[in-house]
Amino acid sequence: MKTIKGPAVFLAQFMDDNEPFNNLDGLCKWAAGLGYKGIQIPTWETRLIDLKKAAESKTYCDELKGKVASYGLEITELSTHLQGQLVAVHPAYDLMFDNFAPEDYKNNPKKRTEWAIQQLKFAAKASRNLGLDVHGTFSGSLLWHTAHPWPQRPEGLLEMGFEELAKRWTPILNEFDEQGVDVCYEIHPGEDLHDGVTFERFLEATHNHKRVNILYDPSHFVLQQLDYIEYIDHYHEFIKMFHVKDAEFNPTGKKGMFGGYGDWKDRAGRYRHPGDGHVDFKSIFSKLTEYGCDVWAVLEWECCIKSPEQGAREGAPFIKNHIIEATQKRFDDFSGSEIDENKLKRILGL
């Protein structure tokens, strides 16, 4: 068993135009002051990292690590969630997802996809230059609009969709493999990888590529009414990143899983601050520790009620109090004795 590392915080949702949330030094000082030990960096935030430079310069990465370390922090992982989303975008979502791309790549899906793929390849090299072994991202989606099929899906559509998704990702996965870095897909509604079955479909389509792994976030499974504890039993060997985020599901006679197009606070399924929702984090931390999952526990703030400031303040002690120091001995060792083969036979009556 291994002790989970943490607490850490994903910086994406805390970025702001005001101090201290608009630059790396300010955020590091802020996070360290709240008791965090690590930060997860969103690579689309150029105020935090120059991804291309990080891919090309070990010196730049050493300086970046040094700056973070000066505040008593580590970089836990890099994230390319927005760029990963753009690896595969169905045309129905083109206009909305264009917001994730630089101005020069908007209104040109082919060029935008090429940019996204290059970004992921930069992230592979940047992760290695930073001494990181895992990386977080989204898979993108070609099939999400068929999740509730009406009209029914034609035969062969799913196979073709996952084949195309794997075709786009395989060169990226190969680059990560060359750098010795695992790609952890956040299993998330809206992505083609949104539960266990779809993860397995993608894994099969990539011919069980060894760099295909999981960023585990239980909040997304609450919204799907999926057993997020049993999920760990099935996929613990693939879980190499962990977002600590809560959610709740409160269906009524008027709304359920699809939420009636409501704002987040008005939905039956909504994201909450850790400890304020329905997620059983004690069981999750126990399972991950039991299986020896070598992960950072990273706070992701996405609460529709509680402020990010309060969420960040409460997040560090919440995670710290849930981390289990993995035992290196059995509780009944005190009653043990040295056993030889003859004694074993006598115990068995042989």
Size (the chain), residues: 350
Q: What would the pLDDT profile of 120-179 be if each residue is shown by its tens digit? A: 999 999 999 999 999 999 999 999 999 999 999 999 999 999 999 999 999 999 999 999
CB 221 within 8 A of CB 186: no
Token pair of 151, please?
């009209």
Q: Residue 219: enclosing H or E segment and its boundaries?
A: helix 219-222
Q: What would the pLDDT profile of 169-212 be if each residue is shown by its tens digit? A: 999 999 999 999 999 999 999 999 999 999 999 999 999 999 99
Report pLDDT for 334: 63
Q: What would the pLDDT profile of 313-328 be if each residue is shown by its tens digit? A: 999 999 999 999 998 8
Judged against a pLDDT cut of 70, whether residue 252 lies above it is answered with: yes
Token pair of 65, please?
């690590």
Q: Residues of the chain with pLDDT > 70: what percent?
A: 99
Report pLDDT for 336: 74
Q: Residue 55: enclosing H or E segment and its boundaries?
A: helix 51-56
Q: Which residues contact 140 (CB under 8 A, 6 or more apart)?
A: 84, 85, 86, 87, 88, 89, 165, 168, 191, 192
Q: What would the pLDDT profile of 6-39 be if each residue is shown by its tens digit? A: 999 999 999 999 999 999 999 999 999 999 999 9
Report pLDDT for 63: 98
Q: What's the chain's average pLDDT?
A: 96
Q: How far apart are CA 249 and CA 279, in angstroms?
A: 10
pTM listed for this prediction = 0.95
Quickly tell me which residue has 């135009």 as its tokens. 17
Report pLDDT for 235: 98
Q: Which residues contact 177 (CB under 8 A, 6 or more apart)?
A: 209, 210, 211
Q: How far apart are CA 134 and CA 143, in angstroms?
A: 26
Cα distances from 310 to residues 14, 272, 323, in angstroms, run: 12, 12, 21
Domain map (residue ranges) of the chain: 5-348
Query: Is cis: bond before 20, omega within 30 of 0?
Result: yes
Radius of gyration of the chain (CA): 22
Q: How far apart are CA 2 and CA 178, in angstroms?
A: 27
Q: Residues of the chain with pLDDT > 90: what percent?
A: 94
Instruction: Looking at 57-108, list the stretches that DSSP marks H as alpha helix, in order from N- to C-terminal side.
Output: 58-69, 81-85, 94-97
Report pLDDT for 152: 95
Fold of 5-348: TIM Barrel (3.20.20)
Q: CA 278, 279, 280, 281 torsion: positive or negative?
A: negative
In sequence order, what DSSP letters do the residues of 12-39 get, joined into one string? GGG--SSTTTTSHHHHHHHHHHTT--EE
